[in-house]
């Protein structure tokens, strides 16, 4: 359950709107899942590119901000994000896998892949992110 993985932090309004779930979260890694619904699709009936780009951005952000300390969080802001689309999905469960690749005390670099239900790559992306004040260390900040 997402709420448990977030250590008591409630889902954001945007998470509620899209309906994705944080399925795995550890240092340098995240896995988001989204059950495709009609509301996620464009006029052609495929998952909208904006939804996919959001999953890439969010998976990267979570990969950079794991905090093992109860009652504390880490946050980043996106500085740059690139997305490449390699396929399409109409239905089923899509997954976004985020990985922290490199970085220093303030700036971090992450990648993400989005896979369809069969495990076929439908998009990939990478981004640079800046830690918000207090989030540079694994201890993060109080919620």
pLDDT digits 0-9 by tens, 18-51: 999 999 999 999 999 999 999 999 999 999 999 9
Q: What is the pLDDT of residue 1?
A: 37
Which superfamily is assigned to 2-142 in CATH? Hotdog Thioesterase (3.10.129.10)
21: its two tokens: 């779930």
User: What mean pLDDT comes out for the span 72-100?
Assistant: 97
List residues bridging with 97 in a β-sheet: 31, 113
Predicted model pTM: 0.94
Q: What is the mean pLDDT of the chain?
A: 93
Domain ranges of the chain: 2-142
Q: What is the pLDDT of residue 10?
A: 81
């Amino acid at each position: 359950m997402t709420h448990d993985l977030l250590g008591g932090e409630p889902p954001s309004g945007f998470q509620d709107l899209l309906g994705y779930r944080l399925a795995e979260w550890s240092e340098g890694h995240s896995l988001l899942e989204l059950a495709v619904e009609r509301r996620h699709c464009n006029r052609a009936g495929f998952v909208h590119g904006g939804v996919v780009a959001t999953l890439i951005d969010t998976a990267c952000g979570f990969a950079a901000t794991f905090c093992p300390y109860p009652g504390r969080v880490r946050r980043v802001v996106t500085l740059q994000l690139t997305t490449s689309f390699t396929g399409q999905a109409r239905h089923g469960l899509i997954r976004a896998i985020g990985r922290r690749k490199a970085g220093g005390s303030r700036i971090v670099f992450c990648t993400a892949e989005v896979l369809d239900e069969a495990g076929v790559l439908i998009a990939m992306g990478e981004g640079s992110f800046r830690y918000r004040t207090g989030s540079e260390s694994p201890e993060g900040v109080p919620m």
